[in-house]
Structure 1
Amino acid sequence: MNERDSGNSLAMEALLVDMSLQVDGMSEWLYGDTPDASYDFEGGALLQINHMKLTGDDLLVPITAWAPMFVPQAARNGAVYGTLFGGRSTLGTMFPLEHSPTSRYIVDSRGSTITANVCHRSSTGLVELMTFKFLPSGDMTCSNYVYERSNPSNVYFGFTTRERKLCSYCERQGFTCECEDTMRTKSLTDIARESIIQGICSSNSQDLHFLNEALCEVFKKVFLGKFQVTGVMSTPEGGSSMEMVHHAVSFPKFYNYAPSGYVAEAARIKCAQTVIMHRTGPRSPMLLTDSSSNASGDGTASVRTDADAPEDELTCQICGAQFTRKHDTRRHVRTVHLQQRNFKCEMCNRQFIHRTHLRDHIYSVHIKVALAKCPECGKGFKNQSKVNRHILSVHKGERKYQCTQCGRRFFQRWDLKKHMEVHL
């Protein structure tokens, strides 16, 4: 049954939530007043969510599956601060052209339970604040308000729910569970106990890596399986935020938390591409992938040979090296003899000879996406071939290229050629 009121109670709830964030000093981050910190894409995790159907009194809203990526950026006093990529929101539905493509979040582990705040923002000053509280039993409560940042009491939308995890038996049967909490004990996750095990209970740690990994271990057990969601949705009547209509809602929900795996790795790279493109433009050489036919990774776009070209155009006039393409000859002179560094990192201004070197730098330094790791020292690399090269050069000390004049040995032919300049 639908109910109407003046909206004062909803406005008061939203105002209290906004005030609590200001007291804790979290509102500056969530509202975007604080500049971005460096992204730890390697610590990012996907939260796969599937709303099966949203039904209530006179209300039917289909919702499809989505999977936002949570990327941590900083840790302060036991809380993880980060950015949410790909988050779907009510604000984006109401004002699609004004909605920011990314949102900010804070996961706070300082209290007796864990609280997560996610804030979506618009260019017109509206914000959508979602607050998840993880109950000791493993269930969750969620509040969701869309309001004016300058006047939090002016609420456009409200949503309060409790998400009840299904027991293992009912989960196999479908999406409904009427069992008592005592019957669901084996299926629930003891949040307090998990927080103690991971060492984050009432923690004031500033260590981002430790906090994020510990929270991932907790969330892998919490965000797993089927939940039954019940609550109340409040919407304005006739376009006025002062007259609110309340709808009782109930729908099933499915979660899967993925901090690792192929899908998560692909999502991290996609999010990193978004950040780089926003900072440097859509045609920047800093992009980690592109749609061009360039396979050499150094700015060339052709793989054909120049068989009919004059011999002097296919031969380096400095060292006599032979090539099959004129462009390779010019590139050789530019990179080997002139040492021109035409690929610049817009984040730190370092310059590189090859585009592949620039991309490796971005992977390892700025976005910290490690698709492969060294089994001996744990250092991350973009792919397994670079791990193998690292093992041979660093851990096994392989040096197969030797200088004929002084006997010094090198791992790569390029290093030997550069060294030969000393003897000229």
Structure 2
Amino acid sequence: MRVHTGERPFTCDQCDKTFLGSSDLKKHLRVHTKEKPHSCSVCGKSFSQLCSLQEHEKIHTGVREYMCFECEKTFTTWSNLKKHQRIHTGEKPYKCSHCDKRFSRSSDLKTHERIHTGEKPYKCSQCVKRFTQSVNLKTHERIHSREKLRTCDQCGKSFTIKSHLKIHMKIHACRNHISTV
């Protein structure tokens, strides 16, 4: 009946959200307590909701039951399919509060807004540099570790950054083209 009447008698004392049932409130409270009672038996990652664990487990089983009819790409969750379909529809529901830019994913909006706020939450553990995106931090930290992940299959030279390898590969392409002419 509460679904039809709109009555939501259970209120969170932390954030004032309301719920239809006490079990919904109990699940919600895990947001505040950081309790994650459901663990993946494969990798150990923990979740506050059982449904989140069940969606996660599809990563390990390879089950991808949702398919995009535009490009036939498959997804483990309905929500990931819906997010993907914005590529085809052009829908960009997330608008920057500082400028007119719009984004199809909330995470892209959050990253973009750091341009305006100056926030750089990712700090290098070896030096004072900070970054707006974790991927930039990871790339930077290879400088300290001297880790070279990309190797040229023609000459064996290694690079820390993929784009540097691509630039290098153009040298081989030019030489190969010249030698065949």
Same fold (TM over 0.5): no
Structure 2 length as normaliser, TM-score? 0.41
Highest RCO, 1 vs 2 (Cα 8 Å, sep ≥ 6): 1
- Answer with 1 or 2: which has the greater Rg: 1
- Greater strand percent: which structure? 1
TM-score when normalising by structure 1? 0.20
Structure in which a larger fraction of residues adopt helix: 2
